[in-house]
């Protein structure tokens, strides 16, 4: 049974995502042929190539000719004239320059030249500007690198707009991605099944674009959707008749065993009605199976990255993701809905099992760099694993996500963690006000947070803080406490990322809005929305929180303005230079000013 597994755009192409290797690791031992395709990294490798830029040049020339013909008949409106002016700057000489520059940029990112910050910055700026050029070929889409800024006009939280986008040859760049990347693989391998992992909402438009085009050309192919986003829209999905014509089944929650059983049922022509974690369509309609299944981590094999183009990721050394736990060991934060991905509570592999798998992956794929993608690393496991990595002399470099903990207040703990190879920690900070932290049920103490930051920093670990403004009931003064805390501890905070509070549809606070003094609004047209617009009885409004955020963006410690913000890049730099003191990553005043200056002809 041949299976094509796809990871769709848009995602940062700096490390593989774990979903496809996790599925491949159970399908292959069961005798099924698997082709893994990280369409995201293949797409960016394609975008930054002479082949694709020649394709964009043809699109731009066609649009320029069209506007010039319109101009002969009538005066262009302001938007048309502005677009034509930009298109006129896109000369053959400009495309030749970009074609040469992007190849050089990719070589820098994939070689030791990456560790020269001037070259790294030039390369990333080159790719950013190239995407601006590419976007002109798909105007008015804004297709960006990094992809978090991408906006192709259509809203991925509305099924009606997803469907409207699918045949839009002007804006929907993913139609060309399918034609250039996926169609040749479909024609070559003729898979009986295609599985697509959806892990962020923006991926829904490329996903359904691919599904529609596969169904048009290979109608007998069974298409299955899975991943975190599919689990989160599981309640709405059965009623989305307009989407079901493009795929056949969906797997919710954990997917390894469920997808294997589905693969065998498709192969044997068996009935689907008893399969776990499955929503499927047949001639009688859409069915939601009652049986749910959670994996036993001790029985799962290590991820299988065979077949992924590890040499194409935009890093000089391969970084492999690894997951030792499922769920969150704390699991109480009132703003968080990450628990939606699982039907069973927190679980972890044993330390012996973890070390064995890390050693196996290190030797098989020739890398010592690992990203432990756990939602929040448990403190006991954090300490035990660190000691084992030291004792076994495994010699790896690793990064993970942490919660501040009062159980991690000994200097030796942090020395061990650093000695074991930990380089970079993402801390869930959230707020610098104790009352707000209590409202969140975060149960962290600010004095312990300070100690964790100081000890980890002194041990040589890079600390990145994640926080947000505008949690329901938070006052302006309490938001100021968040800013004051990070400033007070700036010597031990190396980077940070703030945002504004988002009311997740499945968060505990959304289930008890009255308790938290908020009212939320469901827009009936936003049928795939995963968060809600809300108003609060007390504290900052959504707009107030945005104003606080904007002010902080303009007036914060300049040490946090970095020449690269890609976590994998910082992780590799810390390992390369053996220190969390990397002044070369900080922007100078001139660089900050230049960030505000657009490239000529490329806005």
How does pLDDT run across 411-470, given as a tens digit for each residue? 999 999 999 999 999 999 999 999 999 999 998 999 999 999 999 999 999 999 999 999
Could you tell me the CA-to-CA distances from 274 to 232, 258, 371, 493 in Å, in that order? 22, 11, 36, 51
Task: Answer yes or no: is pLDDT of 601 > 60.
Answer: no
Task: Answer yes or no: is pLDDT of 400 > 80.
Answer: yes
Residue 194 phi/psi, 5° resolution? Answer: -125, 125
Structure confidence at residue 603 (pLDDT):
25
Strands (E), 243-313: 249-251, 278-282, 285-288
Q: Concatenate the DSSP letters of all residues of 414-461 into one string.
A: HHHHHHTTEEEEEEEEE-S-HHHHHHTT----HHHHHHHHHHHHHTTP
Residues forming CATH 3.40.50.280 domain(s) in the chain: 2-41+158-288
pLDDT confidence of 597, banded at 50, 70, 90? Answer: very low
What is the average pLDDT across 286-303?
Answer: 96
Structure confidence at residue 593 (pLDDT):
73
In this structure, what token pair is assigned to residue 47?
Answer: 């975008």
The percentage of residues in the chain with a pLDDT greater than 90, rounded to a whole number, is 94
Task: Answer yes or no: is pLDDT of 306 > 50.
Answer: yes
Question: What is the rounded distance in angstroms from the CA atom of residue 153 to the CA atom of residue 163?
Answer: 13
Structure confidence at residue 595 (pLDDT):
64
pLDDT confidence of 338, banded at 50, 70, 90? Answer: confident
CB crowding 540-571: b at 16 or more within 10 Å, else e: bebebbebbbeebeeebeeebbbbbebbbbbb
Residues forming CATH 3.80.30.20 domain(s) in the chain: 317-588
Q: Which of 47, 194, 69, 217 has the alpha carbon at shortest distance from 135?
A: 47
pLDDT confidence of 596, banded at 50, 70, 90? Answer: low
Residue 239: CB atoms within 10 A of its CB come to 12
What's domain 2-41+158-288's superfamily in CATH?
Cobalamin-binding domain (3.40.50.280)
Task: Answer yes or no: is pLDDT of 599 > 60.
Answer: no
What's domain 317-588's superfamily in CATH?
tm_1862 like domain (3.80.30.20)
Structure confidence at residue 345 (pLDDT):
82
Question: Residue 562 gets which letter from DSSP?
Answer: B
With H, G, I as helix, E, B as strand and everything else as coil, classify residue 290: coil
What is the average pLDDT across 123-139?
Answer: 96
How does pLDDT run across 459-507, given as a tens digit for each residue? 999 999 999 999 999 999 999 999 999 999 999 999 999 999 999 999 9
Task: Look at the pTM and tell me if it is higher than 0.85.
Answer: yes
The percentage of residues in the chain with a pLDDT greater than 70, rounded to a whole number, is 98
**592 near 560, Cβ under 8 Å?**
no
How does pLDDT run across 186-210, given as a tens digit for each residue? 999 999 999 999 999 999 999 999 9
Structure confidence at residue 369 (pLDDT):
98
Task: Answer yes or no: is pLDDT of 602 > 60.
Answer: no
What is the average pLDDT across 45-67?
Answer: 98
Max CA separation in the chain (angstroms)? 78
Could you tell me the CA-to-CA distances from 273 to 195, 241, 280 in Å, in that order? 19, 19, 9
In this structure, what token pair is assigned to residue 530?
Answer: 């995963």
Could you tell me the CA-to-CA distances from 514 to 62, 435, 508, 519, 533 in Å, in that order? 56, 18, 12, 7, 15
Contacts of 596 (CB under 8 A, 6+ apart): none
Question: Position of tokens 């491949």?
Answer: 24
Q: Which of 310, 397, 418, 317 has the alpha carbon at shortest distance from 115?
A: 317
Mean pLDDT of the chain: 95
């Amino acid at each position: 049974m041949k299976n094509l597994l796809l990871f769709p755009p848009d995602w940062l192409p700096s490390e593989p995502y774990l979903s496809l290797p996790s599925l491949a690791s159970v399908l292959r031992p069961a005798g099924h042929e698997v082709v893994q395709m990280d369409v995201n990294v293949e797409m960016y490798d394609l975008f930054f190539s002479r082949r694709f830029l020649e394709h964009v040049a043809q699109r731009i020339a066609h649009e320029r000719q069209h506007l010039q013909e319109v101009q002969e008949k009538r005066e262009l409106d302001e938007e048309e004239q502005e677009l034509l002016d930009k298109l006129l700057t896109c000369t053959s000489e400009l495309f030749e320059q970009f074609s040469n520059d992007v190849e050089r940029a990719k070589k820098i990112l994939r070689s030791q030249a990456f560790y020269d910050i001037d070259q790294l910055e030039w390369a990333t700026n080159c790719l950013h500007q190239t995407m601006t050029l590419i976007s002109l070929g798909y105007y008015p889409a804004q297709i960006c690198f990094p992809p978090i800024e991408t906006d192709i006009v259509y809203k991925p939280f509305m099924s009606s707009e997803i469907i409207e986008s699918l045949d839009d040859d002007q804006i929907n760049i993913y139609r060309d991605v399918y034609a250039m990347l996926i169609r040749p693989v479909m024609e070559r391998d003729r898979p009986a099944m295609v599985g697509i992992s959806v892990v962020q909402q923006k991926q829904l438009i490329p996903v359904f674009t691919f599904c529609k085009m596969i169904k048009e050309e290979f109608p007998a192919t069974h298409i299955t959707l899975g991943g975190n986003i599919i689990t989160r829209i599981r309640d709405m999905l059965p009623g989305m008749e307009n989407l079901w014509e493009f795929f056949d089944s969906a797997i919710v929650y954990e997917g390894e065993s469920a997808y294997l059983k589905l693969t065998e049922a498709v192969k044997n022509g068996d009935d689907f009605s008893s399969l776990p974690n499955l929503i499927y369509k047949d001639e009688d309609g859409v069915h939601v199976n009652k049986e749910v299944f959670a994996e036993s981590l001790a029985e799962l094999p290590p991820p299988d990255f065979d077949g992924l183009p590890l040499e194409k990721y935009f890093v000089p050394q391969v970084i492999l993701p690894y997951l030792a736990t499922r769920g969150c060991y704390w699991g109480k934060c009132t703003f968080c809905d990450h628990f939606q991905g699982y039907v069973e509570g927190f679980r972890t592999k044993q330390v012996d099992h973890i070390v064995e798998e890390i050693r196996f992956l290190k030797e098989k794929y020739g890398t010592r760099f690992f990203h432990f993608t756990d939602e929040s690393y448990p403190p006991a496991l954090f300490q035990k694993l660190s000691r084992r990595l030291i004792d076994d002399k495994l010699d790896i470099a690793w990064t993970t996500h942490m919660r501040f903990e009062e159980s991690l207040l000994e200097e030796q703990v942090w020395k061990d963690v650093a000695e074991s190879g930990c380089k970079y920690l993402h801390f869930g900070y959230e707020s610098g006000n104790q009352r707000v932290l209590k409202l969140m049920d975060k149960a962290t103490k600010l004095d312990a947070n300070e100690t964790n930051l100081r000890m980890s920093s002194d041990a040589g670990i890079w600390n990145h803080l994640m926080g947000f403004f505008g949690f329901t009931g938070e006052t302006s003064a309490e938001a100021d406490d968040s800013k004051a805390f990070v400033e007070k501890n700036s010597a031990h905070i190396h980077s940070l990322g703030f945002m504004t509070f988002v009311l997740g549809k499945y968060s505990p606070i959304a289930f008890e809005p009255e308790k938290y003094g908020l009212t939320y609004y469901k827009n009936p047209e936003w049928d795939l929305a995963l968060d809600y617009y809300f108003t609060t009885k007390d504290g900052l409004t959504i707009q107030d929180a945005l104003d606080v955020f904007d002010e902080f963006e303009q007036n914060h410690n300049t040490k946090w303005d970095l020449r690269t913000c890609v976590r994998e890049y910082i992780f590799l730099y810390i390992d390369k230079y053996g220190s969390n003191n990397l002044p070369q990553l900080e922007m100078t005043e001139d660089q900050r000013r230049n960030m505000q200056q657009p490239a000529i002809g490329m806005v």
